[in-house]
Amino acid sequence: MTSAAAPAALSGAAFRTRHILCMKWGTKYGPEYINRLYAMVRRHLSGDFRFVCLTDDSTGIRSAVECLPIPPLDLPAGIPERGWTKLATFTKDLHGLRGTALFLDVDVVITGPLDDFFTLPGEFRIIHDYKRPWRITGNSSVYRFELGAHLDVLEYFRGHFEEIRRKFRNEQAYLSDFLHQQGKLQYWPKEWCPSFKYHSIPPWPSNYWRAPFVPAGARIVIFHGECNPPDALAGRRNRRFRYIRPATWVAEHWHE
């Protein structure tokens, strides 16, 4: 655990404990992703916070991180939870956590200050969809909410799973639509959470001589679809004929 945040009783009802939440399950991401994510948060978030990793395996994760089990989604037998797992953050009593939670995917790279992610007004904040900005869908690599404030997200999901699975491709599409219908959905300023894929890689053909860069105003660079941070650092993409030079700036940020 980090240096413990002061109990709410010491600073009045207005005090909200700040939590960083992340998830790690399976073997795709090793403990180094969690350890580096913690280190980046510590460098860019002032003051006290609790860093919580919901995981099925805490092996190798640094002691400053609180490792807790991923709550079950209670889906019908035989239905894989993959694609819906983040909805577990809306469990009624998430291990007794109280306060404001900022959820971060484990493969993001933090390049700027994080304090404003907790102070920007709004009931629920998420990244706006990159590719189709006319849609309401958010990208759930970074979202913020009050713990225990949106219990109906998971309750409705459990009671209408078959309908939701037919209508929505994944958890972020359902989550965005559900909270939009309630008038609670808001997006981060677009420059805060750029996409490495869409905003960092120079356009063709300049990608052959220009290296990927940190977009202006970026605070958290999102890696989705093609690269993860070590791939970007090495100049690798997982699609043929999509060349990139090494993103050397990743090494400046993605470390313990």
pLDDT digits (tens, 9 = 90+) for 217-248: 999 999 987 789 999 999 998 776 689 999 99
Determine what percent of the chain is predicted with pLDDT higher than 70: 92
Write down the pLDDT at residue 14.
40
Write down the pLDDT at residue 75.
78
Write down the pLDDT at residue 1.
42
Determine what percent of the chain is predicted with pLDDT higher than 90: 80
Which residues are CB-contacts of 31 (< 8 A; sequence separation ≥ 6)? 24, 58, 59, 60, 61
Which residues are CB-contacts of 196 (< 8 A; sequence separation ≥ 6)? 109, 212, 221, 222, 223, 224, 227, 232, 247
Whether pLDDT at 13 is above 70: no
Domain that holds residue 152: 8-187
CATH of the domain at 95: 3.90.550.10
Are 106 and 140 spatial neighbours (Cβ–Cβ below 8 Å)? no
Whether pLDDT at 7 is above 70: no
Write down the pLDDT at residue 74.
84
Write down the pLDDT at residue 226.
77
| 9 or 137, which is more confident | 137
The CA angle 55-61-63, to the nearest 5 degrees, is 110
Write down the pLDDT at residue 109.
98
Lowest mean pLDDT among 34-43, 44-53, 73-82, 103-112: 73-82
Q: Which pair of structure tokens corresponds to residue 202?
A: 């120079």
Mean pLDDT, residues 100-119 taken together:
98
Mean pLDDT, residues 81-100 taken together:
92
Count up the domains in the chain and report the number. Answer: 1
Domain-embedded: residue 209: no
Domain-embedded: residue 222: no
Domain-embedded: residue 197: no
pLDDT averaged over every residue in the chain: 91
Domain-embedded: residue 63: yes
Alpha carbon distance 62, 60 (integer Å): 6
pLDDT, tens digit, 9 for 90 and up, residues 15-60: 579 999 999 999 999 999 999 999 999 999 999 999 999 999 999 9
Domain-embedded: residue 159: yes
Whether pLDDT at 61 is above 60: yes
Write down the pLDDT at residue 12.
33
Whether pLDDT at 191 is above 80: yes
Mean pLDDT, residues 178-202 taken together:
97
Lowest mean pLDDT among 122-126, 160-164, 229-233: 160-164
Write down the pLDDT at residue 77.
72
pLDDT, tens digit, 9 for 90 and up, residues 62-72: 999 999 999 99
Containing 161, the helix (H) or strand (E) segment is helix 161-167
Domain-embedded: residue 98: yes
Domain-embedded: residue 58: yes
Domain-embedded: residue 62: yes
